[in-house]
Amino acid sequence: MRATPIALLLAGALAACTRTPTPAPDAASGATPAAPTHPASPATAKSGAPSAPVPGDAGRVPQRFQGRYAADAGACADASAESQLVIGPDHIQFYESSGDILSVASGNDDLALTARLAGEGEVRQATYRFGLSGDGRVLTDLGGGMRRQRCD
């Protein structure tokens, strides 16, 4: 089957409409400006996976995940227990490191966060993914499998 000239013209016009134009160089510096970016829309968490961070909420942990957690009741009573974990709205504290939360994504009972942690003489960026039980009492590190109970 042969394409008609009108069909070819329409296809060309459609292609021209969908291309992103290349910005012209800046006259003063000669540099080409970056193409505009469009913010990603939050993903829907149908599978229970965390949704994409919502602009303006980056670094804010939902209230249901905030609290102090430890391996068991004995560890909850011992503030120096290695399993201690404290999650605040914008800060996380482990036994030997703590830091500011840089980004957060949550959906259903999952939480993913990235934090800049300082401890043991170094600063590093780390990402964690946690699952919270339906009753909100058990927090599981989905990357390492450690389960902690809520202390407060």
- Looking at the whole model, is its pTM more than 0.85? no
Give 15 or 86, the one with higher predicted confidence. 86
Q: For residues 142 and 129, is the Cβ–Cβ distance under 8 A?
A: yes
Q: How far is CA 104 from the centre of its chain?
A: 4
Task: State how far the alpha carbon of 92 is from the alpha carbons of 23, 42, 60, 126, 133, in Å.
Answer: 42, 24, 11, 11, 19
* pLDDT one-digit tens code per residue, 18-35: 333 444 444 443 443 333
Residue 74: CB atoms within 10 A of its CB come to: 10
Q: Tens of pLDDT along 40-71?
A: 222 323 334 444 444 445 559 999 999 999 99
